[in-house]
Structure 1
Amino acid sequence: MAQFINPFSDWGFKHIFGREISKDLLICFLNDLFAGEFVIKSLAFGNKEQIGLSKDSREVIFDIYCTTDEGKEIIVEMQNRGQEHFIDRALYYTSRVIVNQGIKGEWDYDIRPVYTICFMNFVDPLLPLGKLRTDMILADKDNGKMVSDKIRMVYLMLPFFEKTETECENDFERWIFVLKNMNTFERMPFLAKNAVFKKLAEISDLRTLSKKDMDKYEDSIRIMRDAYATYKYAIKTGLEDGRKQGLEEGMAQGMEKGMEKGKAEAERQKNIEFAKLMLSDGDSTEKIQRYTGLTAEEINEIAQSLH
């Protein structure tokens, strides 16, 4: 029986990565994600609610929002179900954080880098199919050279990660394997590989949750399941409507095609009868072809039937 938190629930994801007590888990994951590029030594959680540009603007609420010791601002989102314009949504989130860096008065537009990391438990057809990780940057279209490091979006499509526990080659792959399958584990893997997974096991063990936290977790799971049920119902309803519409259209098209076919057959029979009369009058095959549109083979068959 599974004994770990489902990280795809809103509360579960924030419980693992969005608290001071588990901050080192987030630092470790980010360092494994950007291995070889930079190292985060510390980070500070920021206000997850980004105030709108005007009083009437809507607030943007992130799953996790933090700033690293180097000044990079990082957004981390967990999206369990696909939605229309998801790529644009992530761009909007990232852009809002950049815009909110603006300073009134004299300012030279020296902005801090903003990274958005999206865990996606679904496949978005706009991203490369079959690819777990897609990094989007501002780059020259022709040579691919980066022109600015101030904005970057990392999309992790978890359905495309198919490695088993023994096939994981580095800590980043181990993280992805654990997060994708954690709610099915009876034991946490990789405990001997990296101490961070031991802490992850302690943080996410359902048996260690307080009554209050367990209630919050169960509410989060219920919301997630309700959303999934709504999603499935929408698909089912859409399919049924599509089948009904397709059936009605099919019947209409069938009737139309049947009428066209019947009309064509009636015209053909009329031409056959006309050809019989012309043959009886001794008209040539060429002449009958011109008046009826029948082929020479068809006219010869009609002639043989008359004999």
Structure 2
Amino acid sequence: MDLYNDNQRFIPLVSDYGFKATFGNESDTRFLRKALQALINSPVAIRKVEFVQNEIQGLTKDSRSGIYDLFCTDEKGTQFIVEMQLGEYPEFIQRMKFYALYRLNTLIRKGKYKFKGLPKIYCIGILAISIFPHIADYHNVATLKNESGELIDEQLTFITVELDKFQKELADVQSDLDKLIYTMKTIDTVIEPTQFPPFWTEEWLETAIRELDTRAMSPEKRMVYEMTLAANAVAVDNEQKKIEDVRTEVVRKALNRGKLTIEEIAEDSGVSVDFVLEIQRSLTNDL
């Protein structure tokens, strides 16, 4: 999605650059405030947001650290963690829990381990690929409930949006949430104003769309965008190399055990038969 071509007018909102230019726009938070309000299904407008350091420091020398895509608070102290995930990530919910519980523990420590008056924490995950195949809805809000579905606590609220489940036609888009998701899914496919949905003239969306318009980019913004593309390309190549190295090691171990057929190894490892045969030949040559 981050690949740029001359025919593409708008940068994908779900790309690294697009997300930072819209959700992460610290100089103009109109889009972010309205988007958060829509994502949490709140009738109350968010008047102000403050961006907070988004890095999680490891609690011990050997514990993991991490970085949120976005972390901010509103005028009431409500905390929002927003994560964008484009690729497959089966353990995404575990990551969301880690982030939310880390924030909760931080708040409790700051309050000298008192639990009264803690602010709400919303952990929002926006995913290009579905992680809940058994759930039909594209927008899910999860709180602590009992077996009868009765609310126990909503201090921690987990919200997921699975973009590929959103299949509404333009005529059916009514709510701010649907306007947001429709824009996220289609912005990079639109070129001319005649293709713009009517609601793109709404201030909060117009503000974000302006940031994604390559025709309106200053030379400085163009350079930042192209540098982001280059960095992402390197990151993708490195990640693919890591994945291939892991698959190679898994296949090599399976071949050395000699208990499975070539076809079974390929199926279990999620690779082609040719991939397995190539590693088998390399093992033979090393003897």
Q: 1:15 to 1:135 in 2, by over 3 A?
A: same
Matched, 1:218 2:223: no
1:43 alignment partner AA: V
Q: Which amino acid aligns with 1:76?
A: V
> Does the alignment pair 1:152 with 2:157?
yes
Partner of 1:161: 166
State yes or no: 1:194 paired with 2:194.
no
CA shift, 1:130, in A, is 3.0
Q: Deviations over 1:27-86 (max 9, x none)?
A: 011122234454322111111112232355433211110001121100111111012311
Note closer, same or farther for the CA distance 1:181–1:233 as it changes in structure 2 (3 Å cut).
farther
1:112 maps to 119
1:77 aligns to what SS in structure 2? Answer: strand
- 2:20 alignment partner, one of 11, 14, 23: 14
TM-score, length basis structure 1: 0.69
- Are the aligned partners of 1:132 and 1:160 in contact in 2 as well (CA < 8 Å)? yes
| Alignment: residue pair count | 246
Residue number among 83, 87, 103 corresponding to 1:81 in the alignment: 87
Q: Which amino acid aligns with 1:139?
A: K
Which of 121, 124, 137 in structure 1 is aligned with 2:128? Answer: 121
Give distance in 2, aligned partners of 1:77 and 1:172. Answer: 17
Mapped partners of 1:50, 1:203: distance in 2: 28
1:173 pairs, out of 175, 178, 187, with 178
1:246 corresponds to 2:263: yes
Structure 2 portions without partners, runs of 5+: 1-6, 255-260, 268-287
**Correspondence 1:134 to 2:134:** no
Residue 207 of structure 1: aligned partner: 215
Task: Tell me how far 1:116 sits from its aligned partner.
Answer: 0.8
CA gap 1:86/1:148 in 2 versus in 1, 3 angstroms: same
Give identity over the alignment, percent. 23
1:70 aligns with 2:72: no
CA offset digits 1:121-166 (Å, max 9, x no partner): 1121x453432012111111x2211211210111100000112223
TM-score of the superposition, structure 2-length normalised?
Answer: 0.74
Distance change (3 Å), C-alpha of 1:192 and 1:91: closer
Cα–Cα, structure 1 residues 36 and 77, in superposed 2: closer, same or farther, change >3 Å? closer
Letter in 2 for 1:30: L
- Deviation of 1:11 after TM superposition, in Å, equals 2.5
In the superposition, relative to structure 1, how do residues 246 and 77 fare at CA in structure 2: closer, same or farther (>3 Å)?
Answer: same
Distance in 2 separating the partners of 1:18 and 1:53: 26
CA distance in 2, matches of 1:247, 1:128: 28
Report the CA distance shift for 1:232/1:177 in structure 2 as closer, same or farther (over 3 A): farther
Equivalent residue, structure 2, for 1:47? 53
Counterpart CA distance in 1 for 2:124 and 2:112 is: 32
Larger Cα Rg: Structure 1 or Structure 2? 1
Cα RMSD for the two superposed structures: 3.2
More displaced 10-residue stretch of structure 1: 159-168 or 194-203: 194-203
Cα gap change, 1:209 to 1:248, in 2 (>3 Å): closer
**Contact 2:179-2:199 at 8 Å conserved across structures:** no
**SS where residue 36 of structure 2 aligns?**
helix
1:59–1:25 distance in 2 versus 1, CA, 3 Å: same
Kept after mapping to 1: 8 A contact 2:83/2:124: yes
CA distance in 2, matches of 1:163, 1:231: 33
CA contact (8 A) 1:128 1:134 kept: no
Q: Structure 1: any 5+ residue segments left out of the alignment? A: 251-307
SS at match of 1:159: helix
The answer to whether the 8 Å contact 1:46/1:65 transfers is: yes
